[in-house]
């Protein structure tokens, strides 16, 4: 009888862990869908490796059809305004780790840090 009780508790724990994992996976899936950039010319928040300097990031982005708007909380986060539609894979090809809609989560709606003018001049 005691063995059955322990087996039952173990099965309940496994079921609870599985349920939590499924809830977490669903949350991540919905977050990705919500934060994914649309195919229009909305601002993009792009995360680059922390090891890259802002000058390196600007140099890598120079050939792409984007205008630099400003940096995010850190210099490795840049806010870009696409001039025309282009594949997000182009940003990943130049080293971007994450590309999301800059205003979907509200994270970039209030930040004012370094502004980057056309030509790559940082002020």
* Same domain membership, residue 42 and residue 15: no
7 by Cβ neighbours in 10 Å (0-12 / 13-18 / 19+) ranks as: exposed
Percentage of the chain modeled with pLDDT above 70: 72
Q: How far is the C-alpha of 118 from the C-alpha of 120, rounded, in Å?
A: 5
pLDDT the model gives residue 26: 85
CATH number, domain containing residue 73: 3.30.70
* Same domain membership, residue 64 and residue 24: no
List Cα–Cα distances, 109 to 21, 42, 51, 98, 102, in angstroms.
31, 13, 25, 18, 8
- pLDDT for 62-106, tens place per residue? 999 999 888 878 889 898 988 888 888 899 999 998 888 777 655
Which residues span the domain enclosing 109? 38-123
The mean predicted confidence, pLDDT, of the chain is: 79
Please provide the size of the chain in residues: 123
More confident residue, 27 or 63: 63
Tell me the average pLDDT across 28-55. Answer: 77
Q: Which residues pair with 78 in a beta bridge?
A: 46, 71
pTM above 0.75, yes or no: no
Residue 34, pLDDT > 80, answer: no
* Same domain membership, residue 96 and residue 115: yes
**Which residues in the chain belong to E strands, given as ranges?**
44-47, 66-71, 77-82, 98-101
Q: Which residues pair with 80 in a beta bridge?
A: 44, 68
Q: Give 49's pLDDT tier (boundaries 50, 70, 90).
A: very high
* Same domain membership, residue 50 and residue 27: no
* Same domain membership, residue 80 and residue 28: no
Q: How many domains does the chain have?
A: 2
């Amino acid at each position: 009888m005691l063995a059955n009780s322990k087996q039952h508790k173990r099965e309940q724990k496994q079921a609870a862990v599985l349920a939590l994992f499924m809830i977490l996976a669903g949350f991540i899936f919905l977050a990705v869908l919500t934060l994914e950039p649309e195919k229009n010319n909305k601002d993009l928040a792009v995360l680059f490796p922390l090891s890259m300097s802002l000058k390196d990031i600007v140099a890598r982005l120079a050939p792409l059809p984007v205008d630099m708007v400003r940096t995010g909380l850190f210099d490795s986060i840049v806010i870009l305004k696409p001039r025309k539609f282009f594949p997000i894979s182009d940003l990943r090809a130049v080293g971007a780790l994450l590309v999301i809609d800059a205003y979907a989560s509200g994270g970039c709606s209030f930040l004012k840090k370094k502004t980057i003018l056309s030509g790559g001049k940082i002020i």
